[in-house]
């Protein structure tokens, strides 16, 4: 009795699998190739004589404990990367929410009131150009504590794109919409809910999407200079002080991933809320 030999996988089957993979993930292949090329070039650069930065292989070797156990908590600021990022995200969520509420409210007020716009525009244009790190000593001097100072730095950094884009959206409402509101004799509440907010919503979401990135950037800057608080920014600074460059690079990767996810989440929310004709 002869045993049937196992035939090798058909080339057609392999090609069909690759084709289906390309159809399902067409947007993932180019960035995956780009990331692979970047990692190879980075590793080759790290192998060159005199290079001081570790390559991706050494980074993984030096930080594999942090990668595999991100949930450890030994008390104080000695926590895993999950808790460090979670603490930073909590600060961002609080200040970003306040910035959205205040920014949208002031933006609508400035957009509908030309006198208010002319009076406050120079102040807003002046303050919005101040970088996040410049607010740190002011916030520490005024608030005297690291936590509220960090929250203020995020708030003051994130509010400007929300405020300005909201004001622009309100001023860009077509005059025909305003004429219809006058003909129908809409109340102020009906005008806001049925005309102003829907018309300005694309601009508002543009400001919110820009602000979420700035808020994440600001918390990192604030935590780096505000010692003694749990957060990914202070984790980077502490690792640098202890000459753990691999930990700094790992934290930068985590920061980039979280920032990308925040932007994608805001884009998803924008696509879900905005009507199709406004996307």
* pLDDT computed for residue 92 by the predictor: 92
Q: Which two tokens stand for residue 37?
A: 């090329």
Q: Which domains are present in the chain?
A: 69-273 (1.10.3720.10)
Q: Which two tokens stand for residue 104?
A: 């949208």
CA dihedral for 174, 180, 183, 185, sign (positive or negative): negative
* pLDDT computed for residue 199 by the predictor: 81
Matching residue, tokens 């409402």? 173
CA 258 from centre of chain: 7
Q: Are 235 and 108 in contact (CB under 8 A)?
A: no
Q: Which two tokens stand for residue 233?
A: 């920014």
Cα 80 to Cα 255: distance, rounded to the nearest angstrom:
14
* pLDDT computed for residue 138 by the predictor: 86
* pLDDT computed for residue 102 by the predictor: 94
- Cα-flanking dihedrals φ and ψ of residue 73, to 5°? -145, 105
Per-residue pLDDT of the chain (279 residues; tens, 9 = 90+): 444 444 444 455 455 655 665 666 666 777 788 888 988 888 888 888 877 888 888 888 888 888 888 888 787 777 888 999 998 999 999 999 999 999 999 988 888 888 887 888 888 888 888 888 888 888 888 888 888 888 899 999 999 999 999 988 888 877 777 677 677 766 677 777 777 788 888 889 899 999 998 999 888 888 877 777 788 888 888 888 888 888 899 999 999 999 999 988 888 888 887 765 555
Cα 47 to Cα 106: distance, rounded to the nearest angstrom:
54
* pLDDT computed for residue 12 by the predictor: 54
* pLDDT computed for residue 3 by the predictor: 45
């Amino acid at each position: 009795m002869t045993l049937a030999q196992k035939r090798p996988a058909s080339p057609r089957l392999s090609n069909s699998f690759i084709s289906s993979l390309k159809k399902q993930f067409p947007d993932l292949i180019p960035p995956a190739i780009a990331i692979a090329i970047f990692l190879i070039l980075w590793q080759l650069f790290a192998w060159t004589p005199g290079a001081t930065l570790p390559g991706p292989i050494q980074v993984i070797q030096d930080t594999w404990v942090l990668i595999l156990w991100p949930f450890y908590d030994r008390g104080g600021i000695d926590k895993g990367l999950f808790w460090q990022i979670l603490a930073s995200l909590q600060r961002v969520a609080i200040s970003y929410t306040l910035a959205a509420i205040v920014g949208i409210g002031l933006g609508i007020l400035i957009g509908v009131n030309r006198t208010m716009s002319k009076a406050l525009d120079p102040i807003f244009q002046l303050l919005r150009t101040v970088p996040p790190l410049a607010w740190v000593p002011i916030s520490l001097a005024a608030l005297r504590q690291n936590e509220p100072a960090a929250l203020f730095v995020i708030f003051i950094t994130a509010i400007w794109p929300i405020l300005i884009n909201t004001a622009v959206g309100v001023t860009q409402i077509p005059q025909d919409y305003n004429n219809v509101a006058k003909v129908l004799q809409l109340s102020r509440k009906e005008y806001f809910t049925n005309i102003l907010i829907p018309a300005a919503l694309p601009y508002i979401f543009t400001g919110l999407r820009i602000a979420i990135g700035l808020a994440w950037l600001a918390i990192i800057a604030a935590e780096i200079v505000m010692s003694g608080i749990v957060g990914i920014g202070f984790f980077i600074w502490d690792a640098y002080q202890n000459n753990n460059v691999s930990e700094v690079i790992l934290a930068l990767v985590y920061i980039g991933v979280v920032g990308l996810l925040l932007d994608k989440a805001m884009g998803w929310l924008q696509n879900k809320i905005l009507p199709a004709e406004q996307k």
